[in-house]
Amino acid sequence: MRSIVAITAFLVSTGVSAMAAEHRVVDPSGKVIGIILECNSCKDPATGDDCAGGVQAGYHAGKPCGQCLITANCGTKILYPFDLQITGTLQQPDGEPLADEFVRLFLPNTWTVRTRTVESGFFRVVLGATEDRKGEMLKVDVGTKSRAKADGAADVALYMLPENYKPCPE
């Protein structure tokens, strides 16, 4: 029954070009707490380029995305009265799981949370409530992400931002 109380957002990406995505974090009343954003290395993934997702400097919907979002929204506090559990899975383009890969969640209040994938490619980031707790933990599944093992990136980057976040400067 706890899963009924917690809102679970699912987005399953089947290819590397689908990596640039937004995941809404929604409380049980329907209020959007924040947005988890992934950046893509291609300005236009439709070109067929081999795009990498989860990059620290890239594009989202054709606009600059990445660490510039943290700079643009620096100091913004995202307030939520629930613990948050953010999960997902990393796999190679051939479907093999990616174990021992780092996933990093950046927040505009300058916090950074880092985790590592297990043998199955699964990862979990847990954030404590930033206001007095009002209920059960909220779960957000960002889906299965396809990523080449030897792409050279130190980690997969995710950005948690307020719903009306400021974009990167052009």
What's the rounded mean pLDDT across residues 42-55? 79
Whether the pLDDT of residue 160 is over 50: the answer is: yes
The pLDDT value recorded for residue 42 is: 86
pLDDT tier, 36 (very low <50, low <70, confident <90, very high otherwise): very high
Kindly report the pTM of this predicted structure: 0.84
How far apart CA 100 and CA 80 sit, in angstroms, is: 30
User: In this structure, what token pair is assigned to residue 115?
Assistant: 């985790």
In the predicted model, what is the mean pLDDT of the chain? 84
81 DSSP assignment: S
More confident residue, 55 or 12: 55
Segment 20-31 mean pLDDT: 88
Inter-CA distances, 29 with 7, 32, 58, 96, 142, Å: 10, 9, 33, 38, 21
Residue with more model confidence, 4 or 138: 138
